[in-house]
């Protein structure tokens, strides 16, 4: 699905919760679009490289270990792990164009022998049982249609004693504004996010132990502020829309304003979860 297709879908079903392949294709198209990459800047998730490094340290990633980066996007985190942690990393990404971009980035960085990328579905990972030491998943589980299946896949591909580093949007669903629900909010990593204890129940139910949580509320606040600044800049430059983004600039500003208010109120945030496979 193209970004234009994603726009049409969300326009037709503005209050729906997208499911299955439509949601996966929609997310891949939107986050692979140049306008969205410009909007998010160098940080495709709250906290950027700093939070990725913290997540990998919490998971105890060591040189020479095998890392699987689920929903790896254009490859920044897998490349960081290969470059800075000396690991052998594989990135799995649903969007074909993102996989191509990630492979090109690995080649440019001279890391193609240490870091590789494949197209695949988080709910059916293209990896053998017990084949990785660490699984990383950043700001993506919240968009997966079948979260339980995805977490079960994380568990399956980890060796016994392997570790999971999961960072994601957390919500207080009862206090989250209504306009931060629905299809567009789901694509924006909010509408189908879970409370912190919801992620912990998912992990426990899949067989993970030694659960730890690192709140990163300040990451969420800075991330939303930066997006709002870029949107305001786009409006000042006279852009009513940004190259097929699902929302016009003014509507996007309204949504990010609601998100910033929810972050300030504690109804919306970000956290890192680490756990061990039994």
Tens-digit pLDDT profile for residues 140-164: 999 899 999 999 999 999 999 999 9
**Sequence ranges of the domains in the chain:** 3-277
Interatomic CA distance for residues 87 and 180, integer angstroms: 38
Q: For 242-256, what is each residue's pLDDT tens digit? A: 555 556 778 788 888
pLDDT tops 80 at residue 34: no
Give the model's confidence band at 44: pLDDT under 50 very low, under 70 low, under 90 confident, else very high. confident
The whole-number pLDDT of residue 170 equals: 96
Q: Which residues pair with 69 in a beta bridge?
A: 91, 136
Residues whose CB falls within 8 Å of the CB of residue 102, separated by 6 or more in sequence, listed in order: 72, 73, 74, 75, 78, 79, 91, 93, 117
The CATH code that applies to domain 3-277 is: 3.40.50.150
Q: What is this structure's pTM?
A: 0.86
């Amino acid at each position: 699905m193209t970004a234009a297709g994603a726009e049409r879908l969300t326009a037709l079903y503005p209050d729906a919760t997208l499911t299955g392949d439509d949601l996966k294709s929609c997310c891949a198209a939107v986050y692979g679009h140049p306008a969205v990459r410009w909007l998010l800047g160098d940080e495709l998730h709250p906290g950027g490289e700093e939070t990725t490094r913290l997540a990998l340290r919490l998971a105890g990633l060591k040189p020479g270990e095998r890392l699987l980066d689920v929903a790896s996007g254009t490859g920044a985190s897998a490349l960081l792990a290969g470059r800075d942690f000396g690991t052998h990393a594989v990135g799995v990404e649903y969007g074909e164009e993102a996989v191509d971009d990630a492979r090109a980035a690995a080649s440019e960085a001279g890391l193609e022998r240490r870091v590789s990328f494949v197209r695949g579905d988080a709910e059916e990972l293209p990896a053998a049982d017990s084949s990785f030491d660490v699984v990383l998943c950043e700001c993506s589980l919240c968009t997966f249609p079948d979260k339980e299946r995805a977490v079960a896949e994380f568990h399956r591909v980890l060796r016994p004693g392997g570790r999971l580093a999961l960072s994601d949007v957390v919500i207080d669903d009862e206090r989250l504004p209504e306009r931060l629900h629905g299809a567009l909010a789901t694509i924006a990593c909010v509408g189908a996010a879970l409370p912190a204890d919801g992620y912990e129940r998912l992990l426990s139910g899949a067989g993970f132990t030694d659960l730890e949580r690192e709140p990163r509320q300040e990451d969420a606040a800075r991330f939303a502020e930066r997006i709002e600044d870029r949107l305001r800049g786009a409006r000042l430059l006279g852009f009513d829309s940004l190259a097929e983004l699902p929302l016009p600039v003014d509507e996007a500003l309204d949504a990010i304003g609601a998100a910033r208010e929810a972050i300030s109120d504690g109804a919306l945030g970000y956290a890192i979860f680490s756990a061990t496979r039994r």
